[in-house]
Amino acid sequence: MAIHKAACIGGGVIGAGWVARLVLNGIDVSVFDPDPEAKRKVDEVMKGARRAYKRLATAGLPKEGKISYAATIEEAVREADFIQESVPERLELKHKVLAEIDLHAPSSAIVGSSTSGIKPTDMQVAMKKHPERLVVGHPYNPVYLLPIVEIVGGEQTWDEAIELARECYTEIGMKPVVIRKEIEAFVGDRLLEAMWREALWLIKDGICTVEELDDIMRYGFGLRWAQMGMFQVYRVAGGEAGMRHFMAQFGPCLQWPWTKLTDVPEFNDELVDLIATQSDEQSGQWSIRELEKIRDNNLVAIMEALSKENKGKGWGAGALHKDYVKRLGVGAKVSPAAAKAKALKKKKVRA
């Protein structure tokens, strides 16, 4: 399914990231966010995304889609065939917003939620007309660069909606992974939360500082994870005998008291001050916008490097990056009039 007109409900960090990815793929986007600063915030994210895509899209970019700002949700979704909701993680707010989207969006529109952990079944109860079209489409920041998106269906979600969502996200250069069972926080955030919890203990107990912990990750296993993930890395660690040997060798470690498991340190002012102070010492010399630029440059460089591996076919995110750059380049060579005609033709065929 090709996206012809998109709507983004919520223009914060994640919502603006969606706007950037869609617009830089040549798709018009209507944005609704009641924050009077929404346009400025989206513009800031767009600046960073354009800068990153100049490095990323070596074969050229399609003509940018247009961004418009709607006064209401109804106005934003009225003509959209793809809608991404990215409002704060409060279930009552999700219910209110999704009910309005459901009431006013075309019946054929796919609705994705950027929620980091709320189950789609718990959200779609507010959708009285077409709950079957809601899926979780959980991205990672920055949305315009990181390709992964976790797709989760609820009890009322149709298989067809999941497949259409997969096509939509693939169309804009993402790597959709359909989560097999509905579960809170899905897969990525469950892994991150476990690491975050253990990291808080290590800082609180004075084992290391936030900078030392980050160094251990970015100079060590973070580099391995970036291109192989966890299980493929451990397969290699098993030597010629592979995963079975690794499991036999390190499996018993799971019984050792190495981690705090599900124990959580008290989240009080003292812990916040400790971590915030160390974070200021680590990164206070850069503004957030400067850090975003450094992050984006590094991500593009890593994906470019990975795109040259595997005899030029690309490896991991690099393979997808290679295909995405090529696809953007094709869009750059298509005139806006031809692209519109092609889109209309596809729409007629589906009808």
CATH of domain 188-285: 1.10.1040.10
Q: Report how far Cα 294 is from the mean position of its chain's Cα atoms.
A: 18
Indicate the helix (H) or strand (E) that contains 68: strand 67-69
For 273-290, the pLDDT digits (tens) are: 999 999 999 999 999 999
Q: Is 27 left (phi over 0), alpha (psi -120 to 50) or beta?
A: beta
Residue 343 has pLDDT above 80, yes or no: no
Name the residue type at position 102: D
What is the mean predicted confidence (pLDDT) over 56-73? 96
* Topology annotation, domain 5-186+326-350: Rossmann fold (3.40.50)
| DSSP string for 145-197 | T--EEEEEE-TT--HHHHHHHHHHHHHTT-EEEE-SS--TTTTHHHHHHHHHH
Residue boundaries of the structural domains of the chain: 5-186+326-350, 188-285
Pairing of strands 134-138, 148-153: antiparallel
Listed in sequence order, the residues at least 6 apart from 84 whose beta carbon sits closer than 8 Å to its beta carbon are 6, 7, 8, 9, 15, 18, 112, 113, 114, 137
Q: What is the C-alpha to C-alpha distance for residues 91 and 111, in angstroms, rounded to an integer?
A: 16
Q: What is the C-alpha to C-alpha distance for residues 235 and 26, in angstroms, rounded to an integer?
A: 41
pLDDT of residue 347: 55
Laid out side by side, the sheet with 175-178 consists of 67-69, 28-32, 5-9, 82-85, 110-113, 134-138, 148-153, 175-178
329 and 60 in contact (C-beta within 8 Å)? yes
Residue 252 has pLDDT above 80, yes or no: yes
* Encoded tokens for 226: 């970036």
pTM here is 0.91
Q: What is the C-alpha to C-alpha distance for residues 96 and 85, in angstroms, rounded to an integer?
A: 12
% of the chain beyond a pLDDT of 70: 95
